[in-house]
Structure 1
Amino acid sequence: MSSATPVGSIQTSAKTTQAPGTAGEPVLIASGIEKTYRRGIWPARHQQQVLRGTDLTLAPGEVVGLVGENGSGKSTLMKILVGALTPDAGTIVHTGQLGYCPQEPIVYERLTCDEHFDLFGRAYRMTPDAVARSRRELYAALGFERYATTRADQLSGGTLAKLNLGLALLADPEVLLLDEPYAGFDWDTYLKFWQLVAQRRDSGRTVLIISHFVADEERFDRIVHLRDGKAVPR
């Protein structure tokens, strides 16, 4: 594991291979994460501290739930973990590749599902054959292959959520970070989602899932509650 990096930065160490289900070096360590937002308009402008020295450690092959009230900082923490937002203080160290499924899908309206996978595959530096294989598996696992040539602006909310999740899974990342991933899923897709999560756990991959509430606690290895700007075991 690499040493800690300067305040507000993220460091990626060399990719490691971990046997499924075995204890080992953490795949992600977030230490002392702080974030404050400026709210309102002058002269009533004020500061609101959302994260107050948040610590979070993820181990290989575990499924972790991150819960908390609206406004507790869950999505803020997730964005900081993937580098989409800069913290005011703290360090993040992770091994291997991160996959990120934001709460609101980030897609290009005029591109089809196939074209999204091709575009993201290039960004991940995957070979065309690897992209095609992974895309085919994801279509089958989530059940939306019939929309392969459909533009994003013509997809239903549920199918758009499948595409959003599929893009996060495309490169088979070591750490998968999901922000309310099953919003809009029907029951069948919800069950397929958990099958995918279980397969990732069995292969030694790590999954962090943000949710407002946890209905199926038995599906998680542990649950962390974000309260008063800090992560505490539930």
Structure 2
Amino acid sequence: MNADEWLRAFAAELRQRRVRDDDARHVVAEAATHLRDGGGDPAVVFGLPGRYAAAIAESIGATPPPVPAAPGPVRLHARGITKRYGRRTVLRDAGLTVRAGQIAAIVGANGCGKSTFLRICAGLISPDAGEVTVTGRLGYCPQQGGTADFLLPDEHFVLVGAGGGLARGPARRAGRAAARKLGWDAPGDVLTRHLSGGTRQKLNLTMSTLTEPDVLLLDEPYQGFDRGTYVDFWDQLGRLRDAGRAIVVVTHLLNQLDRVDLVLDLTPAGGTVRDGDAGWGGRA
């Protein structure tokens, strides 16, 4: 890990520990100056980013997490969802109810129907049985695809913004502001086909939140993210949840289930819903 990578990881760890922004910027700047002037391996000079960030958080304090509001009205209700492809039943009688101010995770083995369930909730494919009700505006981020090679990021923002009633200027500004929350300064002159896979996913995620949807459906949107962006992603979900959004995210990274309220496990044919470990408040 070079100095720049270590500093990015260190900054992400400080954010995760809720060190105040001004303090975090000051500490990161001091570390960068020390490494620039003195050189050396940052892991040797300071130690692992997470361990050093924990020591900093303990010494200077952190911003206490906000008290979560009670969940609001039902925004997404799926029941009896069954889907077959030929003789193979991918989903059988799966269901999920998500309220405003909740995050639900969809987990399960490969091929168990996670993406299929999400696409049904998004209205992109039809189930063989069951129904989905969505209340409010819906945003969707696919696992791959979703971008146009010969459009600029700004042109994506304008296109998606137009669907939500935003004029060109406000759409560009909103898109760039949302991108910065993922640590990405969206370029104004680079075609999408020249962006890396991880940056394309940042563009996809930015588009899905651009019009401030009431229901946000995310299909493993962090593919290709580095650790810092991955932390930013979950922090952003926390902010959206606190703002009253209903969020459903397909994930195979079970270490993040303490940050969700509900878990839909599709490993068996069907669906089992359980409460999340609820590191953010634990509401069913």
Task: Tell me the equivalent position of 1:233.
Answer: 273
Give yes or no for contact 2:72–2:244 (8 Å, CA) kept in 1: no
Indicate the structure with greater strand content. Answer: 1
Task: Tell me the equivalent position of 2:57.
Answer: none
Q: Answer yes or no: is 1:178 the counterpart of 2:226.
A: no
State the shift of 1:91 in Å: 1.1
Q: Answer yes or no: is 1:131 the counterpart of 2:171.
A: yes
Task: Tell me the equivalent position of 1:34.
Answer: 82
Q: Larger RCO: Structure 1 or Structure 2 (Cα < 8 Å, ≥ 6 residues apart)? A: 1
CA distance in 2, matches of 1:112, 1:190: 24
Task: Tell me the equivalent position of 1:188.
Answer: 228
Structure with the greater alpha carbon radius of gyration:
2
| Range moving further from structure 2, 133-142 or 82-91 | 133-142
Give yes or no for contact 2:114–2:266 (8 Å, CA) kept in 1: yes
2:251 to 184, 208, 211: 211
Give yes or no for contact 1:22–1:60 (8 Å, CA) kept in 2: no
Task: Tell me the equivalent position of 1:76.
Answer: 116
CA distance in 1, matches of 2:269, 2:213: 28
What SS does the corresponding residue of 1:147 show, helix, strand or coil?
A: coil
TM norm structure 2 = 0.69
Q: Answer yes or no: is 1:23 the counterpart of 2:63.
A: no
Indicate the structure with greater helix content. Answer: 2
What SS does the corresponding residue of 2:91 show, helix, strand or coil?
A: strand
Deviations 1:111-169 (A, max 9, x none): 01111111111122223343133113112212222523211110011111100111111
2:198 to 158, 179, 184: 158
State the shift of 1:24 in Å: 3.4
Q: What is the root-mean-square deviation in Å for CA atoms of aligned residues?
A: 1.5
Aligned residues: 207
| Unpaired segments ≥5 residues, structure 2 | 1-67, 275-284
Moved over 6 A (4+): none
| Range moving further from structure 2, 123-132 or 151-160 | 123-132
